[in-house]
Amino acid sequence: MSSDNVFRLQSHGTQAGGGARQPARPADLAGGPADFAGGFAPLASGLVPLTGGLARRVALAVLLGGTLPPGEGRALSGQVLADKLGLSRAAVHKQVKQLRAVGFAVEAVPGMGYRLREPFSDLVVPEAVLPYLFGLVGKDGEARNVAGPGRPGVSSWVGVPYHFLRECRSTNAIARELIAKSPSGTVVVTDRQTGGRGRLGRSWVSEPGRDLTFSVILRPALTPAQAQLLSLAAAVAVAEVLEERFGLQGQVGLKWPNDVLLEGRKVCGVLVEGSLDADCLHWVVVGIGLNVNSQASRLPALARAAGPGLGGRETLPSPRGPEAKEWEGRSQPISLAEYLGKRVERAPLLAALLVRSGERFASVEEPAGLLDAWRARDVLFGRLVEVAAGRSTLLVSGIAEGLGPQGQLLVRESGLLRESGLVSESDVERSGPEVAARGRVIEVFAGDVSVRGLPTVRG
């Protein structure tokens, strides 16, 4: 296979899809050290990799965060901000206007200066997310007294450069356009995706301004056989963040190859695309769609109103419609807000996802810990499953027996096996009377999985 070919790893439940190419119009990009030397230590030191206008707006957002409760609750004068940022008062005013333009609720208090009327924690523009990514603000958006990024010892950022588009057809498609000029760790984020794909070509629907839809560009030193592990890594990262931030230990499950579930209902999906040849991966784009504040009950109506190709979360057919059978054994959607019973702030959540994703992506070369983390949350283990290629071609049915060393699904065969390059006989259990009696173990590297039976008791 030539390096120009593009592979797709399991588009089950994914937000990021294809569609017509369109020019990317990103916000300012993060680059090298900041090109100003103000009194704002994290940026002036060059420890936080930002530059230009974006660096100034991030610094301004952090400083204004100190005007929010539980901060000091007072305005900061234009002169104070100018001194801290190393800018003129006119330049400060210009940066304030740009923050307002991207959704910051900055108000001018006569005779006092500027302050935030409300937090910026639900925005997903870079000025709102990067302060959390770098550890420059606390969980409530207040400024932290730090002299450098909040992730000491991390040499490679995931989330920088940061491209934001208010709307696009597909974050994965935009990321692919940016491959030639983007370093590993680049992220593309949108507030509304209009051309995403779900499982087997179904629409992937979201409510604008409510969910998280983003793609990360990677240049991993992996073989093509290891590519599957990146999908697992993204799903594990999401699961760990949900558990740690919201106290959901024991409630988050993982369904091979890339679905994240909350007590059996799907909250997140992943799509991995890349370019490869016979012995190496040239680049990979990991697309993640997380249902944050949307309402599952609104999705069918949104899909009908928008027509085909609205981005975000998979649509559901009518329970009595002709496609209802396709959903048997598959996970129904849910959002974090629906599950928790409260609205979730997206900026700190996205920052946490980028941090943990970077850590998990870095662990893929030695995947034992990653595979253990998946197995601890595996919802398929011990269940009767069917694996199909496309909508109707059955590959294998049997009992799911966990993951192999390359992240492949292991299924002990109890039904039909069609000739396909997507499955192979296990090299581990191919002989002996016990294997003959219990059936072969089939290694599945790709396919659409549905659950057909109750779990067995783990030994």
Task: For the chain, give every domain's residue range.
Answer: 6-26+161-375, 41-133, 384-451
Is the per-residue pLDDT at 15 higher than 80? no
CATH superfamily assigned to domain 6-26+161-375:
Bira Bifunctional Protein; Domain 2 (3.30.930.10)
Q: How confident is the model at residue 316 (pLDDT cuts 50, 70, 90)?
A: very low
Cα dihedral 326, 331, 334, 335 sign: negative
- Mean pLDDT, residues 242-259 taken together: 95
pLDDT score at 280: 85
Provide the 3-class DSSP secondary structure of residue 225: helix
pLDDT score at 405: 92
Q: Higher-confidence residue: 212 or 452? A: 212
CB 220 within 8 A of CB 326: no
CB 316 within 8 A of CB 205: no
Q: Higher-confidence residue: 227 or 1? A: 227
- Mean pLDDT, residues 309-323 taken together: 40
The residue type of 443 is E
Is the per-residue pLDDT at 4 higher than 50? no
- Alpha-carbon distance of 377 to 235, in angstroms, equals 11
pLDDT score at 24: 37
pLDDT score at 38: 43
Q: How confident is the model at residue 116 (pLDDT cuts 50, 70, 90)?
A: very high
- Mean pLDDT, residues 351-367 taken together: 94
Is the per-residue pLDDT at 120 higher than 90? yes
Tokens of 172: 């994965």
The percentage of residues in the chain with a pLDDT greater than 70, rounded to a whole number, is 67
The whole-chain average pLDDT of the chain stands at 77
Q: Tokens 């009950």 — which residue? A: 297
Percentages helix, strand, coil for the chain, rounded to the nearest 5?
30, 20, 50
- Mean pLDDT, residues 32-58 taken together: 60
Is the per-residue pLDDT at 320 higher than 60? no
- Mean pLDDT, residues 63-83 taken together: 84
- Mean pLDDT, residues 299-315 taken together: 44
pLDDT score at 5: 38
pLDDT score at 448: 84
- Alpha-carbon distance of 357 to 187, in angstroms, equals 11
Q: Per mean pLDDT, which range of 145-154, 222-231, 381-390, 433-442 is the poorest?
A: 145-154
Among 403, 386, 390, CA closest to 236 = 403
Q: Per mean pLDDT, which range of 13-27, 115-129, 164-178, 188-202 is the poorest?
A: 13-27
Which residues, other chains included, contact 366 with Cβ-Cβ below 8 Å and sequence gap of 6+?
Answer: none
Is the per-residue pLDDT at 344 higher than 80? yes
Q: What is the CATH number of domain 41-133?
A: 1.10.10.10
Contacts of 238-245 with C-beta under 8 Å, sequence gap 24+, read 238/268, 238/270, 238/288, 238/290, 238/353, 238/356, 239/373, 239/377, 240/356, 240/360, 240/373, 241/349, 241/352, 241/353, 241/356, 242/267, 242/336, 244/352, 245/349, 245/352
Please give the C-alpha separations between residue 146 and each of 43, 45, 53, 171, 347, in angstroms, as whole numbers: 11, 11, 21, 33, 19
- Alpha-carbon distance of 296 to 301, in angstroms, equals 10
Using the 8-state DSSP alphabet, how is residue 185 labeled?
T
Q: Which pLDDT tens digit goes with each residue over 409-431?
A: 999 987 544 444 444 454 334 43
Among 122, 124, 140, CA closest to 62 = 140
Q: Name the phi and psi angles at 272, rounded to 5.
A: -115, 130
Quick one: 344 exposed, middle or buried, by C-beta within 10 A (0-12, 13-18, 19+)? buried
Is the per-residue pLDDT at 304 higher than 90? no
pLDDT score at 445: 87
Q: Which pLDDT tens digit goes with each residue over 270-281?
A: 999 999 887 888
The pTM of the whole model exceeds 0.85: no
Tokens of 76: 């900061």
Mutual orientation of helices 126-133 and 52-65 as an angle, nearest 10°?
70
Q: How confident is the model at residue 66 (pLDDT cuts 50, 70, 90)?
A: confident
148: Cα separation from own chain's centroid: 25
pLDDT score at 137: 84
Q: How many helices (H) and strands (E) does the chain have?
A: 12, 16
Using the 8-state DSSP alphabet, how is residue 408 labeled?
P
Residue 319 preceded by cis peptide, ω within 30:
no
pLDDT score at 459: 38
